[in-house]
Amino acid sequence: MKRPPVQPDPPARRVGTVAAALLLASVVFLCLAIAVGSTGFESILMLRQDPVAWQIVVDIRAPRSLGAWLAGALLGLAGAVAQGLFRNPLADPYLLGSASGASLGVAVALVASGATPFAGEWLVQLGLTGAAFVGAVAAVLLTLLLARGVGHSLRLLLAGVVVGVVLGALGQLIMMLRPDVMLSMQAFSLGSTGFVGWSACALMAGAWIAGALVAWALASVLDGLSLGEATAISLGLPLPQLRAALIVVLALATGTAVAQTGLIAFVGLAAPHLVRSIVKTRHQNFILLSSLMGALLLLVADGLARSLVAPQELPVGVLTAVLGGGYLLWLLQRPGTRGGLL
Amino acid sequence: MNPRGTPVALAARGVTASLDGAPVLLGIDLELAAGCWTSIVGPNGAGKSTLLKVLANLLPHEGQVTLAGQPIAEMPARMRARKLSWLGQYETSGVDLTVYDVTMLGRLPHQSWLATASALDVAAVERALRATQAWDWRARALGQLSGGERQRVLLARALAVEAEVLLMDEPLANLDPPHQADWLALVRGLAARGKTVVSVLHEISMALQGDTIVIMAQGRVQYHGAAAAAATQRALEQVFDQRITILALGAYWVAVPNQGQATSA
């Protein structure tokens, strides 16, 4: 057959367009988020003359907005990896118990730091971030231990549920015994980008680049898995090793995001679905698009959280839950979404 | 045990296997001739699909399976994947990959890590999609197709590997009669070109069109012989408790159900 090979790729062009649109929207909203705040546009105009305005824009708004983008990117990435890995459209980044692990970590750290009144605020902050990260990763390790490895998807999911429930209960117990930490715990559970500084941004950016690279490189295993585990193995894919590597990506991406911004709901679940409703493509593209979508979602949600009732602020997690949940519901109701969702 | 006396493509020696602790295969000895189309038939629960998975080295098992004389368990996974293609029963729903991307997965064993598809891959995918008349929907998502259309895409995926040995588990599921006929022509063409085809079939009339038939019951191979042989046809009637009769229809053999037996049973 000497016919020139045909590249039948309208979806590929669409992937490029969607990626460009998401990036462009991200840049626009980043600029907006940096420009607008409780002091309005004024701070941007006064940037050169007023050191306070400089501080507001460069030290508070910029890292916070970029942080929201990065945390969203991590959650979108983790969501896409989780849904591909477990071949379940309801999978989200917190699936393997990382959310309750992080909560428990924060609860323990809050109780412990309460005992040392000399700890400075930044030390507390660093301690909480570290504790949330350690809690999230430890919970995933515990899930893997209970599931006896990564070989069995259903066992992993069930172990994740068990770990989530048990660690969640322990966290609740600590709150019961020490009501003084309840308010801080509440804030953590709702999620906030308020504490994100430049160092947190650097941490999240590092985790995102590493996670996205690994996930991108291993995406073909998720493509193979979508046809079933046996088919994936028959294609010569070393499934256990690749699956373990992707779980590491999932745990680190989720752990890093949760540690910096708390438990932000729905971004990791909704971002992959939004991408799926726009374009059907291979996981290599899908993971990156989901990540960009998650980033844009959280950036916009954070902007709204700051401006809706300004100068007051809504917890961004509440907003993502309402917006993400509402959007998923709309997607579900829309006629012709067969295959688009569930 | 090789009725044709041709080289052996796949062989099992003393193979046993269990699913969730329950023994399913109880000592299988089998040699499948190269360049032949063999069908594995038998009642439900006989262990046909399990045997096919074991032959593809997809399930842990005792005993030895060899592919072209080499122990399959010791082969590097990618090399095995290039030599042997496996089409399972459809496991998942709502796959969001396009038909083209699904078929391109068949080329994974030929591609180095992170490499994009070569002209060879692209040509193989197009050949496979055209062979199953699925080329026209290459940009659609697999999850949006009907059961029969999906089956043709998955068949194309298995064909795209262009392996020497092709194992198929119930490949006719959801196919309408014209596409069953197309499948038959396709498989015969593969065997004529020297490929080895092994299919687990419930359609006995289809199995009778092949070269050889393996009859399984209760985890063992009960019979292995040429499809056209009278002894094979008697063995088929026997394994299905005389509930089917095999009749000549022109140049073909067909299996028809015996209704009388069902009411008297």
For A193, phi then psi, to 5°, come to -100, 10
**Model confidence at B214: pLDDT above 50:** yes
**Model confidence at A337: pLDDT above 70:** no
The mean predicted confidence, pLDDT, of chain B is: 90
| Interchain contact, A280 vs B105, CB within 8 Å | no
User: Which residues does chain B have within 8 Å of residue A226's beta carbon, measured at their own beta carbons?
Assistant: 92, 95-97
pLDDT-derived band at B1 (thresholds 50, 70, 90) equals very low
By mean pLDDT, which of A82-96, A142-156, A320-334, B37-51 is the weakest? Answer: A320-334
**pLDDT of amino acid A342:** 43
Pick from B243, B81, B60, B72: nearest CA to B163? B81
**pLDDT of amino acid A117:** 45
Distance CA A220, CA B114 (A): 9
Q: Provide the terminal-to-terminal Cα distance of chain B, rounded to the nearest Å.
A: 35
Its pTM stands at 0.88
Domains of chain A in sequence order: 47-331 (1.10.3470.10)
Between residues 76 and 95 of chain A, which touch chain B (CB distance below 8 Å)?
87, 89
**Model confidence at A237: pLDDT above 90:** yes
Nearest CA-CA distance, residue B144 and chain A, Å: 6
Q: What is the ipTM of this complex?
A: 0.91
Task: Point out the residue among A224, A235, A280 whose CB comes nearest to the CB of B141.
Answer: A280
User: Which residues does chain A have within 8 Å of residue B141's beta carbon, measured at their own beta carbons?
Assistant: 280, 339
Pick from A12, A342, A78, A212: nearest CA to B98? A12
CB–CB of B49/A210 below 8 Å? Answer: no
**pLDDT of amino acid B11:** 96
Helix (H, G, I), strand (E, B) or coil at B40: strand
CB–CB of B216/B26 below 8 Å? Answer: no
**Model confidence at B248: pLDDT above 60:** yes
